[in-house]
Amino acid sequence: MTKIIYWNNIPAPYMIERFNTLSDRSNLDFEVWFNDRVVPDRSWAIDEATWKFNYRYLPAISLFGKKFHFPPMQLLTNKIDILISLYSEPVVLISWLIAYLKGVKTVFICEITWDRWIKRRWWKEKIKHIIFPLVDAVISPGENGKSYAMRYGASSSKIFTLIHVINVRHYTLGQEKVLLNRDEIRTQLNLKGCTFIYVGRLWWGKGINYLLEAFAKVQQQSNVSVSLLLVGDGSEESVLKQVCQDRNIKNVIFTGFKQQKELPQYYALADIFIFPTLGDPYGLVVDEAMACALPIISTSAAGEIHDRIEEGINGYIVPPEDSETLADRMLHLVNNPKLCKKMSKASAEKIADHTLERWAENFEKIVYQLMSRPDLR
């Protein structure tokens, strides 16, 4: 039986759902490795008792306030057929080299990265140009990720598309349940009129300062009440609250971090989702909002965003760091509730087939295709 290792950095809830679904339907000998159980800038609840797959955490030591991971001994002692991993950390690169020399088929998970988020170092760029042509395959969620991999020398024939998915049913049914008490809950949270929502980290790279600027403009120009719901936590939460106070930006509600099971309620309380990011590799919150039937306004600095937003159909794409254009699109939707309703339906329809089962089925197909290919080294 083919032995597969999927090496992820942390046990993100959306990945756990995918692995559980794969375990339910597949006979693959499948194991997941994680670098860390938790990291400082993520507040997800982790419950290994709900996991249906084999897993392990990598060994590590802390020196001078930094954590250093080691390649697991299983890489040296066990028979592994396919190693699927990221590629940016030293321990991954060392392990990749060991696997490559042992004849293990190696696969990189590749999403686009943005200069606004990432500091390009010449030696890292050089390493990527060396290793990408050598991997047996690259898994990407779409054309942005594919182009990024090819930029570093990956052959297009070795790149497989595996779209990102969410638990669509969880978000669709969750928000529908809340609709019965929506007005009551909105009153409790002091949400007024047309409500915009952002979900994610409160961190400069997410562009929330531009969202606040845009929202202030909408407040000044709108003839109806508007509110902004910020769902999440992060290093700049206190700074953003101070911005609201200093600039007298009213009707901004900070909810703090919410676990995945709570998110449908908050999406259901809103009317329009805003994703003002300056450089996300993907941004699954867009998909979550779509499953909750919300129109989307996103910047263009999100991976595969043009696959998800059809301009004028289920939302709008605006330039990053452009509060004027963002405010214009926000105000346009505030003033056009019928258009919002059409966009809501379009969002739900567009994301409906991005299911966990689809991911698991396509993952299996990629594995079987990869194993059937001759070793060209």
CATH number at residue 325: 3.40.50.2000
- Amino acid of residue 288: E
> Does one domain contain both 264 and 310?
yes
Number of domains in the chain: 2
Tell me whether residue 377 is in a domain: no
The residue type of 215 is F
Q: Are residues 154 and 186 in the same domain?
A: no
134 assigned to some structural domain: yes
> Do 328 and 243 sit in the same domain of this protein?
yes
pLDDT tens-digit readout, 285-306 = 999 999 999 999 999 999 999 9
Residue 108's beta-bridge partner residues? 85, 138
Are both 196 and 304 inside the same structural domain?
yes
pTM of the full structure = 0.96
Torsion of CA 120, 121, 127, 131, to 10 degrees: -10
Task: Look at residue 364 and tell me if it is in a domain.
Answer: yes
Q: Are strands 194-199 and 272-275 parallel, antiparallel or unpaired?
A: parallel
Mode of pairing for the β-strands spanning 60-63 and 66-69: antiparallel
Which amino acid is residue 97, in one-letter code? L
- Residue pointed to by tokens 């088929």: 105
Q: Are residues 46 and 108 in the same domain?
A: yes
Judge whether 290 lies within some domain: yes
Same domain, 108 and 195: no
- Higher pLDDT: 174 or 72? It is 174
Question: What is the structure's pLDDT at 376?
Answer: 57
Mean local confidence (pLDDT), 111-115: 96
The angle, 0 to 180 degrees and rounded to 10, between the axes of the packed helices 208-221 and 323-334 is 50
Q: Tell whether 44 and 11 lie within a shared domain.
A: yes
pLDDT digits (tens, 9 = 90+) for 132-159: 999 999 999 999 999 999 999 999 999 9
The 10 Å Cβ neighbour count of residue 42 is 15
Q: Do 85 and 36 have their domain in common?
A: yes
d(CA 253, CA 37): 30
Q: Tell me whether residue 191 is in a domain.
A: yes
Q: Is residue 41 part of a domain?
A: yes
- Tens-place pLDDT, residues 155-184: 999 999 999 999 999 999 999 999 889 999
Q: Is residue 178 part of a domain?
A: yes
Helix axes 208-221, 237-246, angle to 10 degrees: 30
Does residue 155 share a domain with residue 207?
no
> Is the same domain home to 88 and 200?
no
Residues 111 and 256 in one domain: no
The verdict on 202 and 71 lying in the same domain is: no
Among residues 28, 29, 76, 32, the alpha carbon closest in space to that of 55 is found at 32
- Taking only the tens place, the pLDDT of each residue in 78-99 is 889 999 999 988 899 999 999 9
Domain residue limits at 366: 3-165+355-372
For residue 161, tell me if it sits in a domain.
yes
